[in-house]
Structure 1
């Protein structure tokens, strides 16, 4: 059996199906979230971006680098949108696929939509199918893929972004297959970017979007790939060490992948969120200054790379369950301000961070990914307190309300320095019939 055709035929079926209204509505929220997160990411990385402009001297063009007000050539816009879209690790994703879905897809689709005059609805349909493609591949090869050290956002995300861009641009079936074959060759993503203060996690998203664009260009140029790039010694074997991979069905458990995605209320890695939320709840009866020890039990995949108490900088803090939990307990929130470079050197929060110990729990590991739980136990001189969180805020099982989402959106745009009139108009544009993607990005 040709594994590649098996996968591509499933995705083709999703593309040809009518998208339900509630799924399209969810996609509009995902797009707005991406725009806000990317604008904020550009502000967060402002100093690094200025050094990038100085050294790279990117060529001016027609395609908006979201959040910067700059128009550059297509490849630069695609790359930098990806870099900024994941800079804060605040973008959406799914736990079962262990993958960020929207940032590489929208980073590629929006500049291409500018170039080819596509509407926002055309972008949204492509994104919905892209989420499905990236997620289906990820959930089929996880968790072994992560255990080997791969970041599925970089690997599976390259396949999904390439495929849906080829659909949005109306590639022929042959061109679409060859673009996919090229994407299979290019796909890469290293999880070691989480470790020891590395700041390169956003690079995985940036190069994912750029490699997807390159795959499209190779296909249009007539380059041909292997007849089955997934099978044999192809993608599956490279990414898992095995060839006999069982592809999960599309619309797994009867829902679209985009409906399975979370929206983060906390500005840290999703693995930190159950413990953060538990700590926020416990502020009602625990004072940070009274804490002697905090023990956290969670599922095993959340521990490695996320249990560190040495915090060399903001990126490290975002990956640390101890730091994020300490922030939740100390401030009652874990937003952008709690992870600034100034905050992560504050003596009081670092002292509290050192009191946190994270361990894998066999029972919690057994129920993952159906439940992504943490049990937080805080010991003080006056007693011991415990709280468990199974589905933190922002998960599909516990989604943000419309008001909560709008507050998050407005807050990110305010942080980015986008005037409220502009961010409000942008919000409305996503819901306006037949609006072009060009209108959406022009003022940010």
Structure 2
């Protein structure tokens, strides 16, 4: 009987990617590039750029939005950090993770290093996302309950699998790559409480570790074939014995593609806030009121996701940083109701420090209701009681941008240009869009990757205007 790693090592050698999956990968590539480019203006990204460039090495791959080229693993790390740092990256809701922020940077770096084609890039992404998402389906909620970040922990193995395919490793080498990656899997969720920037780099760590795992396997390093399900393997050790479902890893593998079940983020913050922001914005759009008119606000949340965004109470009412605000239910709902918008500007330092936001956030009360656990971060409920006695209530069973309430191609395109144009200008953003549109027919990626770089001295983005 095959182990999980052996099953996937055969799967990547035999899989045929459907046209629908290629198209999904193309659109998620576009979305991720836009997010990466606008993130380049943030302080954490500038620090990482200095570190990455200072490390030097062979000019194998592109740093998105920068002029320098660096070794593939360094590019995967930096670009992965860009992809996740704004919390604007796509989501697999049931798997509780964000796959493309890891897989696109990792596979792009290898595609440049090994001179692969556009279809190669999209194929490797789809294969890596398949393992990443299915690991999340098998054990993502259990990982989250134990404080392990599924995005980075599962993404490390997915990046290794995609890299093994991209590097044309043998079946046995692929098994070892998965096992080496499992030993590197990491990422803790503590930053969502104190608002520190550590979580920003999780996708970059996963992308870099996945590439390193495949490179080590290619040179003869070995790892257990039971690295996922063995006694001391990935799932028993990190998710906990009996807290995962191995069947999710292989059921309908190759016929049901998880890359077709990703959600686009409408707002640059935790996915768990999105259904509640939708509800708050819908209330604000239909009714006229000022913040002084609000008596109290009620949200109904699940234990797994929503409750984490409401506690610890004081840290959520007064977020410790602009990054911490991205994980605060009281802050996000209060801001949406009054600003009638949630954008990059919502999470700027000066905005987060405005006293009225914490004053209104203090009026948010939460009720645990597991009806809102369905779909993990799909459903939401907000009720606003006004001092004149009116009660304004809205719920959603499927927040915007999800497969159940999908975004149009026009909306995805609009998000890309809103992010990319301030970072690189209209002309370059249009060139990137055209290159992504042609990825399936692109045999030489050099024109595409050239469009992702920029000349030295580019102007930093003012997020308040994005």
TM-score bracket, shorter-length normalisation: over 0.9
Distance 1:251 1:93, change over 3 A: farther
* Displacement after TM superposition at 1:438 (Å): 2.8
TM-score, length basis structure 2: 0.89
> Comparing 105-114 with 228-237, which one deviates more in the overlay?
228-237
1:435/1:341 CA distance change after superposition, 3 Å: farther
Q: Give the equivalent residue in structure 2 for 1:190.
A: 188
1:329 Cα deviation from its structure 2 partner:
1.2
Please list, as runs of the form range in 1=range in 2, the aligned pairs for 1:99-138 lying within 5 A after superposition: 99-138=97-136
Aligned to 1:4: 4
State how far apart, in whole Å, the 1-side matches of 2:45 and 2:215 are: 29
1:341-352 paired onto structure 2 within 5 Å? 341-352=349-360
How far is the alpha carbon of 1:14 from its aligned partner? Answer: 6.0
Q: Provide the secondary structure at the position in 2 that maps to 1:91.
A: coil
Q: Which runs of 4+ in 1 moved over 6 A?
A: none
1:294 aligned residue (294, 297, 320): 297
* CA 1:176–1:13: 2 relative to 1, 3 Å: closer
**Structure 2, gaps ≥5 residues long:** 311-315, 454-466
1:19-66 superposed Cα distances (whole Å, 9 cap, x missing partner): 222221111001111111111111223x65247617972316242111
In structure 2, the residue matched to 1:71 is 69
1:325 matched residue in structure 2: 333
Give SS of 2:295's match: strand
Distance 1:70 1:267 in 2: 27
* TM-superposition CA deviations, 1:302-354 (whole Å, max 9, x none): 23431121212211111111111122212222111211122111223232222
Which residue does the alignment assign to 2:240?
241
Deviation (angstroms), 1:2: 5.0
1:215 Cα deviation from its structure 2 partner: 0.5
Q: Quick one: distance in 2 between partners of 1:169 and 1:24?
A: 20
Matched, 1:409 2:412: no
Query: Residue 155 of structure 1 aligns with which residue?
Result: 153
Number of residues paired by the alignment?
438
Equivalent position of 2:271 in the other structure? 270
- Report the Cα distance in structure 2 between the residues aligned to 1:139 and 1:11, rounded to whole angstroms: 19
- Alpha-carbon distance between aligned partners in 1 of 2:239 and 2:131, rounded to the nearest angstrom: 18
Q: Within 5 Å, which residues of 2 pair with 1:133-282?
A: 133-230=131-228, 231-242=230-241, 245-248=245-248, 249-251=250-252, 255-282=256-283
SS at match of 1:386: strand
Q: What's 2:369 paired with?
A: 361
In the alignment, is the contact (CA less than 8 A) between 1:110 and 1:437 conserved in 2? no
Instruction: After superposition, give the CA deviation of every residue in 1:271-291 in whole Å (9 maximum; x if it has no partner).
Output: 000110000000121424211
Deviation of residue 13 (structure 1)?
3.2
Which whole-Å CA distance do the structure 2 matches of 1:426 and 1:51 have between them? 23
Task: Report the Cα distance in structure 1 between the residues aligned to 2:51 and 2:224, rounded to whole angstroms.
Answer: 40
> Structure 1: 5+ residue runs without aligned partners?
none
The question of whether the paired residues in 2 share the 8 Å contact of 1:303 and 1:359 is answered with no
Equivalent-residue separation in structure 2 for 1:119 and 1:55 (angstroms): 26
d(CA) in 2 for partners of 1:30, 1:213 = 21
Question: Residues of 2 paired with 1:241 and 1:2: CA distance?
Answer: 22
